[in-house]
Amino acid sequence: MNQQIDLFMDQNTRRNPYPVYAELRRNRPVCQVKGGIWVAARHADVMRIAKDVTSFSSSGFRVILSPPTIGPNPVAESILALDPPNHTQLRALVSRAFTPRNIGRLEGRVTDIANEIGDRLRDMGEADLVAELAGPLPARIIAEILGLDPALHREFKRWGEHLAVITPATVDPLASAIRSSIGEMERYFKEVIAARRRNPREDIVTDLTRAEVDGVKLSDPQIISFLFLLLSGGFETTVNLIAHAMMILSARPQDHDRLRAEPHMIPAFVEEVLRYEPPLQGLPRVCSADVVIGGQFIPAGSLVVGLIGSANRDESLYHDPDQFDMDREQHGALAFGHGIHFCLGAALARLEGRLSLEALLSRFRRLQQLPGEITYTCAISLRGPIAVPMRFIPG
């Protein structure tokens, strides 16, 4: 019976996985689901998977990100799929892009872009929230962080979306489109790296061309894997956060009114969105040896996914966890993972989520999600809507 649960590809489950998660926490906290993937649903077990890097290897991402239908994928060779000690040295390099100081410097630019988009949405009246706000804003910001051509923000969005939806079950025609995007990204990044070697700038790409690990400069493939990770990691999580925040505002007009009256509550609202609808839904790992977790034996080499979306609604931590409550005391939420692989883009996502809300709340007295069934991405790690038609009511 466990094999019949399809957590990652079935659209009914993708739209609302939380009843399934609750059933798993109650009756089958660690089990196999469709595709032979082991999942852990309770908070304590997800935390163990995140923290125990000896038993649960991050090489699990390689299994997911480079299936035979996709072939080589630089993200699968990035720090995302590395364990210590290699991970430790390389993360120190890539984290330079996301220091608090660098993120703080971006606030004015994010505000400008959010206001520009807000003005355009006011003129449009109705639009796809993902295509017009949740996608363009982080795409433009990550381009600026990396020193890439901001005119290519639509390509960045498409590339990031394609990297996010890779699973072991990905087949054509989607697999073909993903392979094309990976090829485009590799060609573009090779050109950018060559240009920075000729003419250095004050940007992350230039920093990476100069960086050394144990006295050895990074190779072009290593730099490309960094750029793949930074583009995807700094993009898709934010898209899902912004989209879900606006969908919740549409469904909860009382919260919309409260935030307009009490804008200092916007950060608390963002944190509850992250708990309630985390953009990062799963932590894939591979068991380095036979393990027992949650009373369940799992053999070495198995792919196991810690269900962040389930852990964030674990009744052992949260009272009435299926209720959205911006006044909730936040503790233990795993929206961006935990431990050495905590999401590098977390602070940037929070900043962009907050400033997007400020821009829309100052312009619109109501957001109304238009009728129609929402399709969600099918991915093991990330979950978000592909398109959300929305009406923006000024006032």
- Cα four-point dihedral sign 168, 24, 58, 334: positive
Q: How far is 317 from 334, CA to CA, in rounded Å?
A: 12
- The pLDDT, as a whole number, for residue 97 is 65
The residues, ordered by sequence, that sit 6+ positions from 315 with a Cβ below 8 Å of its Cβ are 25, 321
The per-residue pLDDT for range 5-32, each reduced to its tens digit, is: 999 889 999 999 999 999 999 999 999 9
Closest CA to 188 of 229, 145, 228: 228
The band of 1, judged by pLDDT with boundaries at 50, 70 and 90, is very low
The band of 93, judged by pLDDT with boundaries at 50, 70 and 90, is confident
State phi, psi for 252 to the nearest 5 degrees: -130, 75
CA dist 195 → 92, 191, 212 (Å): 24, 6, 19
Q: Is 260 in contact with 267 (CB distance < 8 Å)?
A: no
Domain residues of the chain, as ranges?
2-394
pLDDT at 149 over 90: no
pLDDT at 44 over 60: yes
- The pLDDT, as a whole number, for residue 214 is 73
Across 293-314, average pLDDT: 95
pLDDT at 61 over 80: no
The per-residue pLDDT for range 97-125, each reduced to its tens digit, is: 677 777 888 899 999 999 999 999 999 99
- DSSP E strands in the chain: the ranges are 30-33, 37-40, 56-57, 126-128, 212-213, 216-217, 282-287, 291-293, 296-298, 303-307, 364-369, 389-394
Read off the amino acid at residue 375: T
Closest CA to 302 of 292, 310, 317, 312: 292
What pTM was computed for the model? 0.90
**Could you identify the residue written with the tokens 């978000």?**
384
The residues, ordered by sequence, that sit 6+ positions from 293 with a Cβ below 8 Å of its Cβ are 30, 40, 45, 48, 49, 304
pLDDT at 383 over 50: yes
3 state SS of 277: coil
**Token pair recorded at residue 368:** 């109304």
Percent of the chain with pLDDT over 90: 57
Strands 282-287 and 56-57: antiparallel
Closest CA to 359 of 115, 113, 121: 115
**How many other C-beta atoms lie within 10 A of the C-beta of residue 15?**
13
State phi, psi for 292 to the nearest 5 degrees: -120, 120
List Cβ<8 Å contacts ≥24 apart for 222-225.
222/90, 223/189, 223/193, 224/74, 224/186, 224/189, 224/190, 224/193, 225/74, 225/75, 225/77, 225/78
- The pLDDT, as a whole number, for residue 3 is 55
C-alpha gyration radius of the chain: 20
The per-residue pLDDT for range 242-260, each reduced to its tens digit, is: 999 999 999 999 999 999 9
- The pLDDT, as a whole number, for residue 171 is 87
Q: How far is 163 from 184, CA to CA, in rounded Å?
A: 12
**Could you identify the residue written with the tokens 């036979």?**
290
Across 303-312, average pLDDT: 95
The rounded mean pLDDT for the chain is 89
Strands 303-307 and 37-40: parallel
The neighbouring-strand residues paired with 366 are 393
For the domain spanning 2-394, the CATH number is 1.10.630.10
